[in-house]
Amino acid sequence: MKFFKTSILFAALFFAGTATLKAQTADEIVNKHVDAVGGAANWKKVNSIKLVGSMNAGGVELPITVTTVDKKGYRMEFSMNGIVNYTILTPSAGWMYFPTQGQTKPEAMPAEMIKDQEDQLDASMDALIDYKAKGNKLTYLGKDEVEGTECHKLKVTHKNGKEETVYLDLTTFYTVRSVEKSTADGKETEEVSNMSDYQKTPEGIMFPMSIEADGTPMKIKKIEINQPVDQNIFKPTEIKK
């Protein structure tokens, strides 16, 4: 009986030590990632970020702009045939307006979707940067390959419960793939994003200029950091051609 109890205690200590080791390994990997993409000090200075580029939708190039003011507002808009479509998110509300899909006025997002998408209000656009302060939790899942590139594989559990798997290049420590599990209309879906062509901005941060989200390629042509942002863009308005 004494041996049995001792064995249980040893096993508990072993697994606790293993968990601690994995946590330390995850932190070490994340620290290398943060350093690789510009360093924590530079990212803490980022209060707003605006991405201007184009996305390829079924072979058609559409202009797209993504604007994020940290913890305050997010707006993604694109134009098709001169008609502006957009998604807006704030800490308390969200709207979608896609007139090219037949919508005649902005529609409010359901509360479930607002909660699920709240990480869009993060100007760093990176769940690993300052992850503890964001309330995110990490689990190191070992190594894996993404299209021939060996990667560290990390599971991120966001503060709101959403799960994301991040793949970091074993050599550069850049994020090459992110797989998010989201809930829409009561159904769970996976959103896969691939990132490449990292370039340094004048502010000293590295950002992927090529992003493929669920098979839709997007090219970033310009990045504006900490430039004045009109807060009215985070309010729903009907846009006529």
Condensed to tens digits (0 to 9), the pLDDT of residues 136-161 reads 999 999 999 999 999 999 999 999 99
For every residue of 51-64, DSSP letters joined together read EEEEEEETTEEEEE
Mapped onto helix, strand or coil, the DSSP state of residue 187 is strand
Tell me which of 188 and 151 has the higher pLDDT. Answer: 151
Q: Is the pLDDT of residue 22 over 80?
A: no
* Number of independent structural domains in the chain: 1
Q: Is the pLDDT of residue 88 over 70?
A: yes
Range of the domain at 100: 2-234
Mapped onto helix, strand or coil, the DSSP state of residue 139 is strand
Mapped onto helix, strand or coil, the DSSP state of residue 112 is helix
Weakest-pLDDT range from 9-18, 81-90, 222-231? 9-18
Structure tokens at 124: 């760093």
What pLDDT is stored for residue 81 in this prediction? Answer: 87
Q: Is the pLDDT of residue 238 over 60?
A: yes
Instruction: Look at residue 227 and tell me if it is in a domain.
Output: yes
The enclosing domain of 33 has a CATH number of: 2.50.20
Instruction: Look at residue 122 and tell me if it is in a domain.
Output: yes
Instruction: Look at residue 8 and tell me if it is in a domain.
Output: yes
- Strand pairing of 83-89 and 73-80? antiparallel
Average pLDDT over residues 60-69: 95
Instruction: Look at residue 239 and tell me if it is in a domain.
Output: no
Round to whole Å and give the CA distance between 22 and 33.
Answer: 16
Weakest-pLDDT range from 86-100, 115-129, 177-191, 216-230? 177-191
* Cβ proximity of 177 and 193 under 8 Å: yes
Mapped onto helix, strand or coil, the DSSP state of residue 14 is helix
Q: Is the pLDDT of residue 197 over 80?
A: yes
CA distances from 12 to 165, 207, 229 (A): 28, 42, 53
* Cβ proximity of 102 and 83 under 8 Å: no
Instruction: Look at residue 241 and tell me if it is in a domain.
Output: no
What pLDDT is stored for residue 23 in this prediction? Answer: 57
